[in-house]
Amino acid sequence: MLDNNQLLRFTTAGSVDDGKSTLIGRLLYDSKSIFEDQLEAIESTSKKKGYDGVDLALFTDGLRDEREQGITIDVAYRYFTTPKRKFIIADTPGHIQYTRNMVTGASTANVATILIDARHGVVEQTKRHTFIASLLQIPHIIVCVNKMDLVDFSEEVFTKIVSDFEDIASKMLVKDVRFIPMSALLGDNVVHRSENMKWYQGAPMLHTLETMHISSDVNKVDARFPVQTVLRPQNESHRDYRGYAGRMASGVLRVADEITVLPAGFTSKIKSIDTYKESLEEAYAPMSVAITLEDDIDISRGDMIVRSNNLPTASQDIELMLCWLHNAPAKPRAKYTIKHTSNDQKAMIKEVVYKIDIETLERITDDDTLQMNSIAKVKIRTTKPLLADAYRENRTTGSVILVDDATNETVAAGMIV
């Protein structure tokens, strides 16, 4: 593997019926990422279940309940590497009752793969998955039109699905969409080019994943450095050292840059950007570094260092797209802990502006209850100003979670509008 190889995270949403597990199994099998003992295990299970041949879908079975019920319950992470890239798959269940798990898997993905059964075309579930990909602002979408073998590898069927998909996607905020006709079962256009669909001029799925441009997925414009902790070694070689440890959320910071520390508003200049190995001239997302400043300023966890000519909005009144993740519904006007980068404070949900019907994608304005899997636009008020960026500009400083103080459970995920 080459030194400059990148890491690509993608999510797969779909149900067992779409052939999602078969697709993942095929991707891993044909890229030679399945080990012999794993293959032996699924061979023996396939035999026990009385299947002809090996069912590659079994490779993605996880917990005992999932094996017994033949479903995916939780997000499972899988890994494979090719000579070009390292891949992390967030394998998420596609059923409506697991919306929260799809949202979880989507939150860190560069690419969403959306499976469509060629026999059924664009269905409600396709809409839902695309909506979640757009809500979570996954930068790229690959639409896998699967089971082409069952429609005689028909170009006409594929073209119709592409056009139907573009109809629904045009109503959402999606940027980069690619379409691939495939048969995961037979391996057509997954890793190897299909012999059965010569009319398709594009690349197979793996090649697409290996070559798509992802360096611009992270915001490189707005310099944001949330402080995680302060390093004060007070040892002989570093008696007066005061380093602010954190990870660049976005943008670039350079030595001598004029910075502002929020929320206090103090200004200073960057003195050094340090790592264990060396001191750097600049840091960019997602690097973990320690920053020292020219002036002695009181800075602690939860503060944010930003470039002085580019500040986030500090406001106590925030609009969010909220996905409710917990069994217990939202309590009206209750207070929650809101976690935003390294900052914790309290927030109250003041108003549910509208909910989204996840099946029809229509807005509901006469129902303001938030239950498990609800997606809604809400207004919240925080006790102190939140250093907000819009989620569509910045996935790190534009995202929050809500925690219920009575149970300590994570109850909601929010994206700043």
Site for another protein, residues 230 to 259, rule: CB under 8 A:
231-233, 235, 237-238, 241, 243, 245-247, 252
Structure tokens that stand for 385 in this block = 């100003």
Structure tokens that stand for 245 in this block = 């440890």
Candidates 13-21, 149-157, 260-268, 272-280; binding stretch for another protein (CB under 8 A)? 272-280
Strands (E), 66-202: 76-81, 85-93, 111-117, 140-146, 176-181
| Residue located via tokens 């005061």 | 242
Candidates 125-133, 166-174, 309-317, 409-417; binding stretch for another protein (CB under 8 A)? 409-417
How many whole angstroms separate alpha carbon 48 and alpha carbon 94? 27
In a 3-state reduction of DSSP, which class is residue 120? coil
Question: Is 272 one of the binding residues for another protein (CB under 8 A)?
Answer: no
Size of the site for another protein (CB under 8 A): 79
How many whole angstroms separate alpha carbon 290 and alpha carbon 296? 15
Question: Is 314 one of the binding residues for another protein (CB under 8 A)?
Answer: no
Question: Is 1 one of the binding residues for another protein (CB under 8 A)?
Answer: yes
Distance in Å, CB of 325 to another protein, minimum: 5
Nearer to another protein, 383 or 407 (CB): 407
Nearer to another protein, 68 or 195 (CB): 68
Question: Is 73 one of the binding residues for another protein (CB under 8 A)?
Answer: yes
Site for another protein in 36-65 (CB under 8 A): 36-38, 61-65
What's the gap between Cα 79 and its chain centre?
Answer: 16
Candidates 15-23, 171-179, 337-345, 358-366; binding stretch for another protein (CB under 8 A)? 337-345
254 burial level (CB within 10 Å; 0-12, 13-18, 19+): middle
Site for another protein in 75-114 (CB under 8 A): 75-79, 81, 85-86, 88, 100-101, 103-104, 107-108
Q: Which amino acid is at 287?
A: M
Greatest Cα-to-Cα distance within the chain, rounded to the nearest angstrom: 74
Query: Which of 53, 170, 296, 408 forms a contact with another protein (CB under 8 A)?
Result: 408
| Structure letter (DSSP) for residue 215 | G
